[in-house]
Structure 1
Amino acid sequence: MKDEVFASVGDSLGRNQMESVMCLLAKVEELKWYRDATFHTTAWYFSSYNFTVAFIWSPFLVQPETPTVDTHSVRPIRLHLDIPDNVWVNRYHEFDYVLIGDGAGLISLQYYWRTALSLVVTSRWLELIYMNPIHLEMLDVYHLSLPRPDGHPDKYRGVEGTAHDCLHWCLPGPVDAWNDLMMAMILRHEDLLLRRSTLNIVSV
């Protein structure tokens, strides 16, 4: 993935997965990292490979009614289902690979993620798709993770008085297996692109 940019867009579960990615990649070389003033974007740069990994905080993928949203609030959160979140949509063209998290929210929240993804690959980005075809793959880790309830921090987060965390994952842990599968998918796609490129050269 030399000279490429890999981005993850999502909520705290997506951030959890990116922490696993960085634990693995940080062994390669000492890296530089950046975080914007809004804390919406964190990026890590590997200079030897001119490779960037970024995480963009967008817990719903669609536009919230107010710029600041407390995702832990019990009050209703108003979302514009027909408007993708500009935090990541305006930067879509910068990325070679984008991991869009389906999140671990309620069924109603998952509907918002699917709505946003549908908008990206149909109307809003139709021109981009024609210029640079988008390759989509789904990675379903539900059944892979189901037998590992021990992989959650639960009550062992080390912070007194906090609720048991049965949403996020310990590192190292099952989330590392997600990234092994994700990298296999990316490498398979890179190999396919290389073969197509070779065929084009031969045909010319």
Structure 2
Amino acid sequence: MVSTDNEQPLSIAKKLLSWTSFSLLSLALFNSYFYTIPSSNFTTDELLLNSSIIITTTSSNSSSSSSSFPTSEEEERANVQTSCDYSDGKWVPDKMGHLYNGTSCRTITDAQNCMINGRSDLGYLDWRWKPHQCSIPRFEPQIFLQIARNKHVAFVGDSLSRNQLESLICMLATASTPQLVYSYSGNDKDIGQKFRQWHFSSHNVNVSIYWSPFLVRGIEKTDSVNYNTLYLDSLDERWASDLDQMDMIVLSTGHWFLQPAVYLYGNSTLGCHKCTGQNYTEIGFYDVFGKILNTTLGKIVERRGGGTNGIDVIMTTFSPQHFEGESDKFGVCPKTQPFDEGEKQVEGIDAEIRRIELSEMKAAIENVKKFGKRIRLEVLDVTKLSLSYLSAHSFATGTKERVQNDCVNWCLPGPVDAWNEILLDMMKRWD
């Protein structure tokens, strides 16, 4: 507004004061509307974890904009809530469908393509995860690629990690054609499935998968040696050697720790899990799992936390086996829709593994804050939403033949797509 010559200074001051008061009131209303209080059914550790994540994220963004007036892009970002408990929600009916299907996405493996594996019902495609505290927008591949422009996004872990990556590649392929630029599996029977990288030239984005079911150095069991051997103090360099080339890491592990294993730390053997007939002390796997996450997160912080660019680390929590009956037997998976809210609880092994993941991530966040490292850590908590959607692609009425039922990985399209919708929403909140 331009003042005229006969306008008095006091009048101008009153207008400025009025405008300032209105602005402050608007800002207060904005904050009160978009600030989300964590769910009251959280444990103390989970509340502290969420608090730490918010502090870490906020501190890295506090000086991100220096312009006096927001651009249209900044105004759009302002509409994103600063926090959300994604794990607290329910599956709701949704007829809008997925971005892709088993025909349109050429990168889906046969094992995850439920339509060609005999699954006749398509109802599993018509559900959407809805957190109670916020809304997750539909996955927007262009926005993901824009945020990840000129970056390397790496998925590291077991088959759940690969499952999540395959979902992401399918969704991104609806906006930009991925080029497979690297594929290697050594002597593994799954040719080209263990280590792969795609390049999206439209945004110079690389998306990779690194097979590392234990995250640390390990020797997988064979036909002659029926147990895994894990070195708890050493990262698996098959992925860790590329740490300096990664901008974001999505970690996923857990299921392989239920198998028999022998644990070593340095030159000492700590014990074993389910190693029948071996001269080792049985110590279970819970403490070992915590030590391995501590080693993994600590080494990432140590190697990348002191650089100028930093790195984003996301831990996808444990996804329960989705099977009713005995796996790899004549059992069936008859459930074709999610459990109602509260009908099934996260408990037992599922709950304990998730608790350890939350605890170790909380400790890593405190370590980052203490030493001022340039690294962002966050949990992608999918345990409850994955438990709630108990559904596999094996035959609903059983089978007369003994077949391999994959009771860990998910149909594509399917519930795992929600993991990547949450991942993108998290990235937008950071941005």
TM-score category, normalised to shorter length: 0.7 to 0.9
Task: Say yes or no: does 1:35 pair with 2:183.
Answer: yes
Q: 1:15 to 1:124 in 2, by over 3 A?
A: closer
Q: Is the contact made by 2:176 and 2:200 (CA closer than 8 Å) also made in structure 1?
A: yes
How big is each residue's C-alpha offset from its partner over 1:47-105, in whole Å with a ceiling of 9 and x where there is no partner? 110001000011111111x4xx2489981111111111011111111111000103334
CA distance in 1, matches of 2:407, 2:395: 9
Corresponding residue for residue 3 of structure 1: 150
TM-score (norm 1): 0.78
Task: Say yes or no: does 1:78 pair with 2:254.
Answer: no
Q: 1:71 to 1:176 in 2, by over 3 A?
A: farther
**Equivalent residue letter for 1:58:** S
**Equivalent residue letter for 2:172:** L
| Structure 2 residue matching 1:137: 3-state secondary structure | strand
Q: 1:73 to 1:184 in 2, by over 3 A?
A: farther
Computing the radius of gyration from Cα coordinates, the structure with the larger value is 2
CA distance in 2, matches of 1:62, 1:123: 10
Corresponding residue for residue 200 of structure 1: none
Corresponding residue for residue 128 of structure 1: 304
Task: Say yes or no: does 1:185 pair with 2:402.
Answer: no
CA distance in 2, matches of 1:148, 1:63: 33
Corresponding residue for residue 145 of structure 1: 386
| Structure 2 residue matching 1:166: 3-state secondary structure | coil
Deviation at 1:163, TM superposition (A): 2.5
Corresponding residue for residue 172 of structure 1: 413
Corresponding residue to 1:117 among 281, 287, 293: 293
Task: Say yes or no: does 1:99 pair with 2:250.
Answer: yes
Corresponding residue for residue 201 of structure 2: 47
Deviation at 1:118, TM superposition (A): 1.8
CA distance in 2, matches of 1:82, 1:37: 25
CA RMSD of aligned residues (A): 2.7
Corresponding residue to 1:24 among 141, 161, 171: 171
Corresponding residue to 1:154 among 364, 388, 394: 394
CA distance in 2, matches of 1:26, 1:8: 17
How big is each residue's C-alpha offset from its partner over 1:136-195, in whole Å with a ceiling of 9 and x where there is no partner? 001111111112112x22347xxx743322211111111001110011112222x1xxxx
What pairs with 1:49-68 in structure 2 (closer than 5 Å)? 49-64=203-218, 66=219
Q: 1:172 to 1:127 in 2, by over 3 A?
A: closer
Q: Is the contact made by 1:7 and 1:54 (CA closer than 8 Å) also made in structure 2?
A: yes
Deviation at 1:113, TM superposition (A): 5.2
| Structure 2 residue matching 1:145: 3-state secondary structure | helix
Task: Say yes or no: does 1:15 pair with 2:162.
Answer: yes
Deviation at 1:120, TM superposition (A): 3.6
**Equivalent residue letter for 2:183:** R
Stretch moving more, 46-55 or 111-120? 111-120
Q: Is the contact made by 1:5 and 1:53 (CA closer than 8 Å) also made in structure 2?
A: yes
Unaligned runs of at least 5 residues, structure 2: 1-147, 187-191, 259-283, 311-373
Q: Is the contact made by 2:216 and 2:296 (CA closer than 8 Å) also made in structure 1?
A: no
TM-score (norm 2): 0.39
Deviation at 1:20, TM superposition (A): 0.6
CA distance in 2, matches of 1:147, 1:18: 21
CA distance in 2, matches of 1:77, 1:44: 30
CA distance in 2, matches of 1:109, 1:25: 37
Stretch moving more, 2-11 or 122-131? 122-131
Unaligned runs of at least 5 residues, structure 1: 192-204
Q: Is the contact made by 2:214 and 2:256 (CA closer than 8 Å) also made in structure 1?
A: no
Q: 1:74 to 1:29 in 2, by over 3 A?
A: same
